[in-house]
Structure 1
Amino acid sequence: NCSPRRKMLRFPYSNTILMRLIPLLIMIIFSIFLFLRFDSITKDQTKNSATGGLKGHMTGYVKTAYGWASYSKIAEDVYDRYGFVIDQVKVPFAKLKRREPLMCSAVFEEWLAIANSHNGKQNPPEEIPSHMLSDFTMNGTISVNKWYFNENISTEEPLLWTKENSDELVQKGDVNQQTTYSVKEVSVYSATAFHSIAGMSGLLVRFLTPSVETIVLKNKAAKVLTVEYRRINSTHPQIHYIHPIELAENWRRYHDAFDFVVSYSSIEHSGLGRFGDPLDPVGDLREMQKIQCLLK
């Protein structure tokens, strides 16, 4: 008996197509996994935020100088000792909140105690004092690299900012052309133009030339107060000067007095002693707290 031969159907490109589809299928599966994982984390964060709990948040890990550490460990070793608690864990940083409300009197009193223990004439130490090492490294969670600066300006002669020179800068050219101004100064100009400061009072932190002062005056600020360790004599009726210690001693006079604050390449140096300022491991945080007390 003869039976008809069954023919096998072959697709010459089937293997090639399958090989090309495999990476795509892997990507789709991986994307679904990430979506489900992110959705789960988001729901946990929403639930924990609503209930005031952080159980789901504290399971994450952060890379530190001594290796990976859980958020609960970071909260205990770092945030808690400075009066902060974790409100929400977000990538790449945790959102913090103060354990207690900000007390401006305590902020300025603590800062003055540190400032008055320092005469401002000695050179910055080349090594971190051993009794401050734990605080400067946030209990050993950050590494230390040596990069030394000595730019003590607190003992130099006062600067003179005349009305004529300041007015000349105010009227000089277009700031956006960047012919006279740095990129940072152009950023200040753009920000204070976009968020109108017309008729407002501003606090300017640590500037040795009146370029930023004239920029905000160009954008119609009513007056500015510059805080700087080096003494400044200003003859411009809209530009005033105050020493940081004098400001701290009279902080109640300036409490809620300013509409805006401008600072760059300054606050991050606070407490490092580079410019003759007192050593303070949390000088940058303390500086931000002082500013908050002075803003309306």
Structure 2
Amino acid sequence: MYRCFLPEQSLYKKYGYTLTSPTYPFVTVVSNYQMNCTWEFTDWLQVQKNRTNRRPRAYLPDGGQRDFLTNKYSGVSYKYSDDRAKLNITYKSWENIADIVTWHARDVLRLVDDMSGISMHYAMKNYYLTGKRGLVLASDHPIVEVQAIQNGASHILSVGQVARETEDVSSMSFLEFAEKRRRYSEAFDFVATWGTIESVGLGRYGDVLDAFGDLQMMAMLGCSLKKGGLFFLGIPMGRDAVIFNQKRIYGHARLPMLIAGTDGQTVGYEIIGDEIKYNVVEKPKIAIVSVLRSLEQSKYYDIAISTVKCYAKIQGYHYILAVEKDFECYQKDQFFRRHCIIAKILPNFDAVLFLDADIGVVYPKRRIEEYMYQDFDVIFYDRFYNWEIMAGSYLVINTPYAIKFLMDFANYESTLPDSFHGTDNGALHFFIAERFFPEEMYTIDLCRQPYKYSRDFDDVFTYEACLRAILGARTEFDRIKILKKGTGWARDSWITDGVWSKEIGDFMLHSWKTSQIQTIPNQKIKPVKTSMYEWFNPLVGAIHLDKCHSKNMSWNYDERLLGDSEEMMTSLTELRNKVTKQQFRFFYRMKSFV
């Protein structure tokens, strides 16, 4: 148990913390206080009698700075909010929880435009909440409530400033929860909070100013947790600070106080700021890999590669630019050879994201974990401009299944016909169809006719349309998942003439060959399909790898390529519909082969 104080002084008389030594990463502290759940709730209820409807304070109260700033151990800055009105608003998200739980994890977080919460999702996923009862400290939107349900929780009690109108989870106010404390004593298998605890006691919601409000709320939540239960804690971390009246930043001094006395297992996550680690769920060891025939080839993709290198440094991933000769992979076709190389690299990591070398990162705040699924070992995505499954980029998990799948696919080159076959991108469709639809071999063999005699891309697209008809609308095949158009981590840049938008989910863009870069015209650029052999660089200036780190995720963008999300969605929807029609037309071409 950690507690905190400056030498010979009590930082918090209320809890009696005393600092014994300035150890790192946390100061070592002791306390004479023994947890008393009855006193915690009774004292909190007594403090709430001082609540008024006055406008929140803009500055720390006179005489209160010592307590709020941990006896000057914490810094202070000011950013004001009066959020009392939010207590009278029930956002539609609370009414639509049953629908939202069907969304992808990253789509849920778009309700608040803050992707850092994806780590809460994966922490819950890692600790298996199936059948468990949970207590959630509510925020404006039911993000954590939805994440818990998505990961199997059987019952959720959401406690917040006010009770929310919802039929999908139980909801009550802090006040009602405190008054019914005996009913909920040690009643929950897990407790979860994200983006909430740090603002308790700062007054932005009209709550009573209380320098110890976050510590007391943590104690009250802990009193409701079963012995040995899980405490999912999502908080901003860095150097100790108070941004009044918005939030606290938890660092070497305040964090030990916050988690002191929690008898369960504290699951911290998404550490931002200083390198502070405390019972943090270990993030998966992920590598981003591109394969080249020689290092000299990297000059043809230097802009794309520099963005991926920078992104890997920012997010703490490994980056590998693999050279073919360094691996014992002897496939004749270079495109099949790279799948063997990925299979050789994969056992050294928890997961590998394979990228064509001309795929670049445009928005570095997204994380690869957003595309990892518990029941799937190999994740592909559909290309947007046609009906192909993309073979030049996929995400694989380190399992015997994935390694065998990659090696089997690499060796599938032996089945290539003597034709314009489309290498691995075309063969992937036969490989999947044969593997998961053996009962359809007659139909597959019909699709093989244009494959054997293919002369151009029209023939390639014809047999691919034939095979996609066999796969149908399915996107899941055993432990293989194919993400639908527009939901993968990358898309071709040229389908919107280089225009992009983080609001529509853009993360990585394909077809960034350095020799094909063009000068951006000084005019409005419409997000429409253009030549695949030209592209515009969305970044202003070169990437400097020495400046790539977790505290610097703000890249400089050329505003001419920042698209309007509604205009882009309209354009992409029109393209998707057009591609669907083309797929039927190419399938009709099969009549000349059968």
TM bracket, shorter-chain basis: 0.5 to 0.7
- Alignment counterpart, residue 47 of structure 2, candidates 114, 132, 136: 114
Q: Can you list the C-alpha shifts for 1:217-255, whole angstroms capped at 9, x where unaligned? A: 11110110111113311112xx11010011111111111
Say if 2:201 is the partner of 1:268. Answer: no
1: CA distance between counterparts of 2:150 and 2:89? 28
> Alpha-carbon deviation of 1:130?
1.4
Matches within 5 A, 1:236-275: 236=168, 239-275=169-205
Q: 1:160, 1:234 within 8 Å by CA — same for their partners in 2?
A: no
Q: Which aligned pairs between 1:271-286 and structure 2 lie closer than 5 A?
A: 271-286=201-216
Give the aligned residue type for 1:287: M
Q: Distance in 1 between matches of 2:185 and 2:60?
A: 34
Change (3 A) 1:264 1:91: same
Out of 135, 140, 144, the residue aligned to residue 208 of structure 1 is 140
Residue 260 (structure 1) shift: 0.9
Q: Does 1:78 align with 2:11?
A: yes
Structure ranking higher in helix proportion: 1
**Structure (1 or 2) with the larger CA radius of gyration:** 1
Relative to 1, partners in 2 of residues 1:123 and 1:91: Cα closer, same or farther, differing over 3 Å? same
Aligned equivalents of 2:94 and 2:34: distance in 1?
42
Structure 1: which 5+ residue stretches go unaligned?
1-70
Q: Is the 8 A contact 2:10 2:18 kept in 1?
A: no
Q: Deviations over 1:70-111 (max 9, x none)?
A: x98445141556312346652132133431320011111111
Q: Residue 157 of structure 1: CA displacement?
A: 4.2
> What is the deviation of 1:287?
1.3
1:167 matched to 2:102? The reply is no
Partner of 1:94: 27
Q: One-letter code of the match for 1:114?
A: V
CA distance in 1, matches of 2:207, 2:93: 23
TM-score normalised by L of structure 1: 0.66
Instruction: State how 1:10-21 maps to structure 2 within 5 Å.
Output: none
* Cα distance in 2 for residues equivalent to 1:136 and 1:210: 29
TM-score of the superposed pair, with normalisation by structure 2: 0.34
- Structure 1, residues 128-164: CA drift from partner, whole Å, max 9, x if none? 221423322333443432222211246514456667x
Measure the CA separation in 1 of the matches of 2:5 and 2:210: 26
The number of equivalent residue pairs is 219
What is the Cα deviation at residue 286 of structure 1?
0.9
Would the alpha carbon gap of residues 208 and 145 (structure 1) be closer, same or farther in structure 2, given more than 3 Å must change?
Answer: closer
Q: 1:153/1:205 Cα in 2 relative to 1: closer, same or farther (>3 Å)?
A: farther
SS in 2 for 1:241: strand
Counterpart of 1:93 in structure 2: which amino acid? F
Q: Which residue of 2 aligns with 1:23?
A: none
Structure 2 stretches lacking a partner, 5+ long: 227-594
Which residue matches 1:228?
160
Aligned equivalents of 1:270 and 1:162: distance in 2? 21
Q: Partners of 1:95 and 1:153 in 2: how far apart?
A: 41
Q: Once the 2 structures are TM-superposed, how far is the Cα of residue 114 of structure 1 from its aligned partner? A: 1.2
Q: Pick from 224, 240, 243 the counterpart of residue 294 of structure 1.
A: 224
C-alpha contact (below 8 Å) 1:159/1:233 kept by paired residues: no
Q: Does 1:105 align with 2:35?
A: no
Per chain length, whose mean CA-contact separation is higher, i.e. which structure has more relative contact order (CA < 8 Å, sep 6+)? 1
Name the CA shift for 1:72/1:101 in 2 (closer, same or farther; >3 Å).
closer
Once residues 92 and 5 of structure 2 are traced to their aligned partners in structure 1, the CA distance between those partners, rounded to angstroms, is 52
